[in-house]
Amino acid sequence: KKKEKVEKTKVKEKTKKKETKTSEKEKKTGTESKKPEKKEKKKTSKSSSAKKTKSTIKKIKKKTSKSDEKK
């Protein structure tokens, strides 16, 4: 049983490393694309973030409504 637990933890560590690598890449590309936009217009960056939050709220509402219908 102890050996099985050790193997599972090793697998978890490997998956965590992969996730961190992908997130770091996304952060690098995201910051590079955002920097020029902020220099041009600061107001637009704020509005775009607000739009993103609204769209995510809509998606969550759709998911919850679908789950309610199934019940």
- Is residue 45 a contact partner of residue 38, using CB atoms and an 8 Å limit? yes
The residue written with tokens 């995510």 in the block is 56
Read off the tokens for 58: 């809509």
Q: How confident is the model at residue 58 (pLDDT cuts 50, 70, 90)?
A: confident
Task: Write down the pLDDT at residue 61.
Answer: 76
Which of 25-34, 37-46, 59-68 holds the top average pLDDT? Answer: 59-68
Average pLDDT over residues 7-32: 62
The pLDDT mean for the chain works out to 63
The dihedral formed by the CA atoms of 9, 10, 15 and 20, expressed in degrees to the nearest 10 = 100
> Model pTM greater than 0.85?
no
